[in-house]
């Protein structure tokens, strides 16, 4: 049985099937995500051997939700997800700068 503490380690990986089950997506959807470089296997040459980093679950869920709810095509999702990641990074940097400014004033 996998312990919760093991899941949060940097080296925990999910198989293709485990990722499909964890993200609640079909294998067809996962193939689309892999083909469009949204979900990138860290090991394995074929789907039965593919391994994905555990953090991929969140990205796959988000991509499937955007595709379903907003009808964003798989090819466009790569760009959308990158822009969302960049926005999150900028928000974090902005918060850090505000904290630093607050300490200086």
pLDDT band at 3 (very low <50, low <70, confident <90, very high): very low
Mean per-residue pLDDT over the chain, rounded: 88
> Percent of the chain scored above 70 by pLDDT?
90
DSSP state of 43: B
Q: How many CA atoms lie within 13 A of 65 on its CB side?
A: 8
DSSP state of 49: G
- Residue 15 in 3-state DSSP? strand
- Domain positions in the chain: 10-104
> In terms of Cα–Cα distance, which of 94, 22, 91 is closest to 59?
22
> Does residue 105 register a pLDDT over 60?
yes
pLDDT band at 10 (very low <50, low <70, confident <90, very high): low
pLDDT at site 83: 95
- Residue 53 in 3-state DSSP? strand
Question: Cα(50)–Cα(63) distance, rounded to whole angstroms?
Answer: 19
Q: Which fold has domain 10-104?
A: Multidrug-efflux Transporter Regulator; Chain: A; Domain 2 (1.10.1660)
**Left, alpha or beta for 51 (phi > 0: left; psi -120 to 50: alpha)?**
beta
Average pLDDT, integer, range 85-101: 95
Length of the chain: 105
CA separation, residue 49 to residues 55, 58, 81 (Å): 18, 21, 26
pTM recorded for the entire structure: 0.74
pLDDT one-digit tens code per residue, 44-92: 888 889 999 998 999 999 999 999 999 999 889 999 999 999 999 999 9
């Amino acid at each position: 049985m996998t312990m919760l503490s093991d899941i949060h380690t940097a080296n925990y990986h999910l198989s293709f099937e485990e990722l499909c089950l964890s993200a609640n997506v079909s294998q067809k959807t996962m193939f689309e995500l892999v083909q469009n470089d949204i979900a990138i296997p860290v090991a394995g040459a074929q789907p039965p051997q593919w391994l994905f980093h555990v953090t991929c679950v969140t990205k796959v869920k988000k991509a499937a939700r955007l595709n379903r709810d907003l009808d964003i095509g798989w090819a466009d999702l790569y760009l959308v997800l990158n822009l969302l990641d960049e926005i999150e990074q900028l928000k974090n940097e902005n918060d850090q700068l505000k904290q630093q400014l607050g300490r200086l004033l």
